[in-house]
Amino acid sequence: MARALGVIRRSSLANICLLSTLFGQIAQQPSDSASGLVEKFINTTIFWKQFEVAKEIIALHDKSVLPKLEPWLKNEDMHRRGNAAFIFASLGDDRGFQVIQSILEDRSTKRAVFEIDSTGSPSPELQILHDRYYAVHLFGDLRDARAVPILIPLLGDREVSEIVPWSLGEIGDKSAIPALIKALGYDSPDMRVLAIYALEKLHAREALPHLRALLHDDEKIHFDGLGTVAEAARAAIATLREVPQ
């Protein structure tokens, strides 16, 4: 009888081990919904639509999708490469952050070119500008504070400067505040207002004296209804006054 029980126990243990292995294999495979979204991501050719699919994939918190998306980290289309990198970074794989940074730093003309200049010819220069701009935007979407020291020097980079304050505001790290306060003195009224918006987003009460200095700055901006710097400063002051000290 004891021998029979031993056989049963060994058999049960073997079954448990087998089930454990099977469950492990299942856990490593993407769910049906994740697999479907990965296929949708792969087959979506318009980058901004693909980005929306990327956000759906991220919402599942399923890292098992990453092996199938790994080739996309080298996709010739920098925007679609960036979308894949955004998934990796959002799911905790540092390769994604590194790929976005490399897109931002890459100024080589040896790339796939989709942008067309005013003469109707493919323009590597325009493509570089758009790819780098998109990388800055992705850092804002990612909200990873490690991007702040990468982005701050770009407040003076004419190719991407206008998206940098937005990204810094989205990231939400207060270490960006001094650089944004400095940007309130830039020559471009657009940059001054974009810095105002970011400081407001960061609840930067320490910026109040600098914002008050702009209350007579009547230069017009080229977006948001063509208002003035003073109007943007006045609105931000009203908001920041309500922020607890």
Per-residue pLDDT at 245: 79
Calpha distance 170→163 (Å, rounded): 11
Instruction: Write down the residue that tokens 């700055």 correspond to.
Output: 217
Q: Give the pLDDT band of residue 225 (cuts 50, 70, 90).
A: confident
**137 and 205 housed in the same domain:** no
- Biggest CA pair distance of the chain: 97
**184 and 226 housed in the same domain:** yes
Q: Is residue 154 included in any domain, yes or no? A: no
Mean of pLDDT values over 35-44:
97
Total domains present in the chain: 2
Task: Among 142, 167, 190, identify where a domain stops.
Answer: 142
Evaluate whether 202 touches 169 at the Cβ level (below 8 Å): yes
**129 and 169 housed in the same domain:** no
Task: Among 142, 172, 194, identify where a domain stops.
Answer: 142
**127 and 168 housed in the same domain:** no
Calpha distance 124→112 (Å, rounded): 8
**121 and 205 housed in the same domain:** no
**128 and 63 housed in the same domain:** yes
Calpha distance 89→55 (Å, rounded): 12
pLDDT, the chain, mean:
90
At residue 12, does pLDDT exceed 70?
no
Mind listing the pLDDT tens digit for each residue in 143-165? 999 999 999 999 999 999 999 99
Task: Among 142, 169, 202, identify where a domain stops.
Answer: 142
Task: List all residues 6 or more positions away from 162 whose beta carbon is below 8 Å from its beta carbon.
Answer: 190, 191, 194
- CATH number of the CATH domain containing 234: 1.25.10.10
Q: Is residue 23 included in any domain, yes or no? A: no
Q: Is residue 25 included in any domain, yes or no? A: no
Q: Is residue 85 included in any domain, yes or no? A: yes
Tokens of 153: 């020097």
Q: Is residue 19 included in any domain, yes or no? A: no
At residue 1, does pLDDT exceed 60?
no
Q: What percent of the chain has pLDDT over 70?
A: 87
At residue 135, does pLDDT exceed 90?
yes
Mean of pLDDT values over 19-23:
40
At residue 22, does pLDDT exceed 80?
no
Mind listing the pLDDT tens digit for each residue in 53-92? 999 999 999 999 999 999 999 999 999 999 999 999 999 9
Q: 224 lies in which domain range? A: 159-245
At residue 194, does pLDDT exceed 90?
yes
At residue 17, does pLDDT exceed 60?
no
Q: What percent of the chain has pLDDT over 90?
A: 84
Q: Give the pLDDT band of residue 27 (cuts 50, 70, 90).
A: very low
Say what angle helices 78-90 and 94-105 make with each other, to 10 degrees: 150
